[in-house]
Amino acid sequence: MSVASDLAETKWNSIHTGDVIASAYPRICAHTFLRRGIRPGGVVIDLGANEGYFSHVMQSRFASDVIAVEPNPALIEAMPAVEGLRTVQAAISGEDGTTILHVSADSEASTIDARGRNAATVGSIEVPMLTLPTLMRRFGIGEIDLLKVDIEGQELGLFDSMSDGDLKAITQMSVEFHAFCGLLPQAEVNRIKARLSALNFLVIDFSREDYDVLCVNLDRCPVSAAEAWYLKTVLRNVRGAIRAATT
């Protein structure tokens, strides 16, 4: 591990101590996924990377080829330079261009959605905006092992900009839908989940409020009926109980 990785590990270990990494079903930054769906050197795209903790763990613990996408330039600059981790300063949405980022004092709450402006908003800046297909073409990406999505209400634009073929090139997704805070209508969340199910994704909400939704492409990463039952009932309920006991 490089010096930069060592420094990053020291910095972040004290922040997300509740994460479950040594598991067949890791949970990092409240995002659950299947370990076996991550190949050494496989592509992981972190949409809404913040300071890069999730990206760093995926690179250092899973040997992934990681692209961290974050619209806030200050957060991009705060990411330690680590081999195997590339950064893109941009907002992800439904079209390419530029947009206004409403910067929050809470680094996890900045958004390009004007409805996200509140007392914690400290300023607004113009930032680049990309669709995921554009990002994939830019880096020559044909397949994605894991897509982590935490983009503060822009999930609708993200998914609507993607063809069925784009989605089928992704092994799994861990999505934080922002219906729980009013940035996305629940009906749109349900529509996106129904579309993924129709494309043969197993869709499991580990949070009960759609902020930790695992979507597994069964054509690329088969899940047996027994394992699906375990994920939907046992693991979901156990982690929910632990979460309730520690909050």
pLDDT at residue number 82: 84
End-to-end CA distance of the chain: 33
- Give the whole-angstrom CA distance, residue 194 versus residue 200: 10
- The owner of tokens 């390009």 is 112
pLDDT means per 10 residues, the chain with 247 residues, are: 44 59 92 96 96 93 94 92 92 95 86 74 92 97 97 92 97 95 92 98 94 97 98 93 76
Count of alpha carbons within 13 angstroms of residue 215, beta-carbon side:
29
pLDDT at residue number 2: 44
pLDDT at residue number 14: 43
* Fold designation for 3-245: Rossmann fold (3.40.50)
pLDDT at residue number 56: 92
pLDDT at residue number 40: 92
pLDDT at residue number 1: 40
Residues 91-125: pLDDT tens digits?
999 999 999 999 988 878 888 877 767 767 888 99
- Give the whole-angstrom CA distance, residue 170 versus residue 209: 23
Burial of 144 (0-12, 13-18, 19+ CB in 10 A): buried
